[in-house]
Structure formats: C-alpha cells, structure tokens
Amino acid sequence: MSKHHRCLPLFAAVNLLLILQPSAIGLPPTTTPITRFQNYLRINTAHPNPDYNTAVEYLTSFARTIPTLLIQTLYFTTPDKPLLLLTWPGSNPSLPSVLLNSHLDSVPAESSKWLHDPFEAHLSPDGKIYARGAQDDKCIGMQYLEAIKELEINFHYSPTRTVHICYVPEEEVGGFDGMARFVESEEFKKLKVGFVLDEGQASTTEEFRTFYADRSPWHVVIKATGVPGHGSRMYDNSAMENMMKSIEVITKFRENQFDLVKAGLADPSEVISVNPVFLKAGIPSPTGFVMNMQPSEVEAGFDIRQPPTADPDLMRKKIAEEWAPEWRNMTCEITEKGTLKDFMGRPLMTATNDSNPWWSIFKQAVEAAGGKLAKPEILTSTTDARFMRRMGIPTFGFSPMKNTPILLHDHNEHLKDSVYLEGIQNRAQLKHRSAHFQRSNKDSSLLCAKFSSLLWTCTWLYQNFLPNSNQLL
Ligand SMILES: [Zn+2]
C-alpha cells in the first residue's frame, strides 16, 4: 500500500464515501445493500436444520465480486457444516492480521408469533427489516463485505494488515463444531490473528456497546439421597429435607448477587447469576405423585454464569461444601461449559485501557466517526469470542446498532434499514454532504451512509499503524 493511502485522513475517506452516487458504485438498479442483506436473511440457517451450504454459496458469490478476496470453504466436522473464510491480503503479511467474525446460524423462530414470516425479510414502510438473524448476527456478516467492497473497488484501497472474514457454523449451539474446532486448527494458526471483532448487541441509546468478555456458563446438578418414609413421619436427613436446605443456601447466594445489581453497584453481567432450571423429585402415580411417601432421591439443576473476575476454585469449593455437602448425603455434578481463564491462566477478558493498543485504536475510530461508546461491558451470555480470548487474542464484541431495541432471539427480531446502512457514520458530515448528493430513491440516499462502524474501525486500523509496527502482537 502506498504512503498516500496509509496516511489518508479518516475523514477524507469518509467525505469521499459520502458523496458517492449509486452509478459510481456500478450496482445493477435492483441490487442494493438492503436487498443483498434481505437475500442473506432469507436463507434459513435456523436450528435445528440450518442450511449452511446455501448461505456459504450466497456469501461466496458476493465475495467473488471483490477481486482481491481469497475464498476458502473449510470443513472440520461434516459436509453440512462448512466454515467460510475470506482473506483480504494486506501489503505486509508479516504483521498480525485482523479477523472479522460472524456466525452463519441462528436460533429457531416461532413463525405464528411474528408479524411477518421470519425468513421473508419483510421491509416495512417505516424501514424495519423483520427476520431471524437480522440483529444476531447476519447484519455484521454482510456489513463486513459491503464495507470491504467499497474500499476495494471505489478507493483501490488495500490494507497494510491482512484482514480475514470468517463465517462460522454452530455458534448458537455452543460453537463446539464451529469456532472451537477452527481455533484449534492449523489453518487458524497460519492466519496469525492479532485482533478480532466479533458480534455485540444492539444499544437502546445513542451510545454503542462494546463487549470485552463473556460470562462463562456452568451447569450444576445437585442430588440428595435419603431414607424414604411415610408421608406422615418427621425424621432427619430425608432427601427432600436436605435438598430444601441446599436450596435455601443457594437462594441466599443468588439474592446477595442480585442485590448488588438492584442497588446499582454492579451490572447484571458483573455478578454471578444462579437460576434454578429443574427440580426432579417425587414418586409418580397415575394421577400425579404419590402423596404419602417421602422420596429417596431429589435432583435440582442450576444455570450459573460467572464473569471472568470470579474465582472458579472458590466457586467449586462453595458448591461442594455449602450447596451439596457430603455430610448431608449430597453429591454434585458440575459441567463447565466454558473456562474463566485463558491459556496463560489470566482472566478471560480483553483489556479496555491503555495497556491494550487495540482498544485505543478502536475507541478513536468510533469517536472520530462521531460515535460515542458506552462503558465497555461483559456480555451476560456467551459467544464464539471466548475461543479467541482463550488463546490470548484481543477480541471485542461490537455490532453497530444504536437506538435499536434488543431483539436477539426474540419474536419479531428486526433492524431498521437506516441503522444497518448508517452504522456510526458521522451524522453531521452526512447532513452537510447530503446537500451535494443527488437522491434518486430511498436506497440511493441511504447508500451514501452505508458504511458501518466496521469500516471506520478497519480504516482506522489500517491507516494509523505503520507497516513495521509490531506492538500489536
Ligand atoms: Zn449471535
């Protein structure tokens, strides 16, 4: 890449983008960023039968319109679970690369409870695109490509660092046959990834949300055993009595954590959440349960989510000694669905201070484009980002959706076309430039603002680091 490109001020690039006309983009009149987004949403990749191959075919055909992109389809399990890896080669391949990740799959949708068919990608008159995956997270998957296409085709821009764009299967079912396999592969090692942008969540305010960690889920099943007895007898150490004592202890712990949230001392994702998810007890009868018999076994299941600041050893000890103590004839089974530490034993989170140069760059890029970042957050649930963080790779979750209701996994998931197209473009700049912009239809007027924060972020990353910079390893 030439020095000129590298030093192109961000706003100069923004201004150029803002005065683009559709004819300059060279798009057929029927194809717009919105229709391309709708087409991707119409491919049903919801569980339990996600059609990954059609989604990969569609993305591949779009990627082929960007001449320099290298396209690979990888398989780590079965042929029906492809992983699409696109590579935008940088001028200095020795530098650590940037990975832009999104997942192909989505959760199911109960069509009867939606205003519009969840796989029709209906665009309402007020600009809302209704579709499963509109927010989570097909929006970012297409925005990555749209942004790169514009930079590549209209600005002949080539990045210093190599950029990889990855579309993974199976995120919504834990990522074990998707990103978890990929990060362990030789193919991933060869990418030399230095920084990852993964999915975030919508923000209901003017501020964009950034996620620097996930909470780690544990599934805990505790079991109490005791001597069975007649329902009329009072005696010590029945299975049910022991379980009730445990539930009392667990409830107290849950209340203490929840009180911190209610008092405003912690965000919901900063505490350890504990929620009972099943209770299994009683002796079944044809009409329900036998009422005059105390059972000899009781089981209860809990969903526990811990932030990376939690001490997993302490939690294991608490569960063993207080929630399911042996002396009360109790046992426990802990299924740790994710770790709280990275491969070096450090808490599984990406720094959001000056110790992490990627954070500064990211923040500057958003602010330079007129956007405002909310206080970085821990995600209450989990994403594939944890697999990269576990390898010590700085990873932020970021989906540029502001003033948008949080509808992931909900009925009527939708995203406004203007939000999809605008990202965090500088509204003042847009307003100013729109005076010089010939508007022919709704899409073309929005086209000038199509570049998402992802573009700004990438542009900033590429332009503000010298090719020989090695501080971002
Ligand atoms: Zn997602």
What is the architecture of the domain spanning 217-336? Answer: 2-Layer Sandwich (3.30)
Name the residue with tokens 């603002």.
Answer: 449
322 is in an annotated binding site: no
- Output DSSP code: residue 104: S
Distance 186 CA to ligand 1 centre (A): 25
Mean residue pLDDT across the chain: 84
Look at residue 407 and tell me whether its pLDDT is greater than 90: yes
Distance CA 362, CA 41 (A): 28
- Hey, do 3-210+352-463 and 217-336 end up sharing a CATH topology, with the first three levels equal? no
Distance 325 CA to ligand 1 centre (A): 38
Do residues 205 and 403 touch, judged by C-beta distance below 8 A? yes
- Per-residue pLDDT at 17: 32
Distance 409 CA to ligand 1 centre (A): 9
Distance 92 CA to ligand 1 centre (A): 31
Look at residue 212 and tell me whether its pLDDT is greater than 90: yes
Distance 174 CA to ligand 1 centre (A): 11
Tell me what the mean pLDDT of segment 239-252 comes to: 97
Distance 273 CA to ligand 1 centre (A): 21
- Per-residue pLDDT at 421: 84
Question: What is the C-alpha radius of gyration for the chain, rounded to an integer number of angstroms?
Answer: 25
Least confidently predicted of 95-104, 105-114, 444-453: 444-453
Cα atoms in the 13 Å half-sphere on the side-chain side of 98: 26
Whether this prediction's pTM lies above 0.75 is answered by: yes
172 is in an annotated binding site: yes
Q: Which residues are catalytic?
A: 105, 171
413 is in an annotated binding site: no
Distance 103 CA to ligand 1 centre (A): 7
409 is in an annotated binding site: yes
- Per-residue pLDDT at 20: 33
List the end-to-end C-alpha distance of the chain, in Å, as a whole number: 21
Segment 168-205, tens digit of pLDDT: 999 999 999 999 999 999 999 999 999 999 999 999 99
Instruction: Return the percentage of the chain with pLDDT > 90, whole number.
Output: 70
Domains of the chain, residue spans? 3-210+352-463, 217-336
Segment 21-75, tens digit of pLDDT: 333 333 444 578 899 999 999 999 999 999 999 999 999 999 999 999 999 999 9
- Per-residue pLDDT at 458: 52
Least confidently predicted of 25-29, 125-129, 236-240, 446-450: 446-450
Distance CA 269, CA 271 (A): 6
136 is in an annotated binding site: yes
Give the residue among 168, 199, 164 at the shortest CA–CA distance from 76.
Answer: 168
For residue 9, with 0-12 CB atoms within 10 Å meaning exposed, 13-18 middle and 19 or more buried, which class applies? Answer: exposed
Domain covering 3-210+352-463 in this structure, CATH number: 3.40.630.10
Amino acid at 357: P
80 pLDDT band (50/70/90 cuts)?
Answer: very high
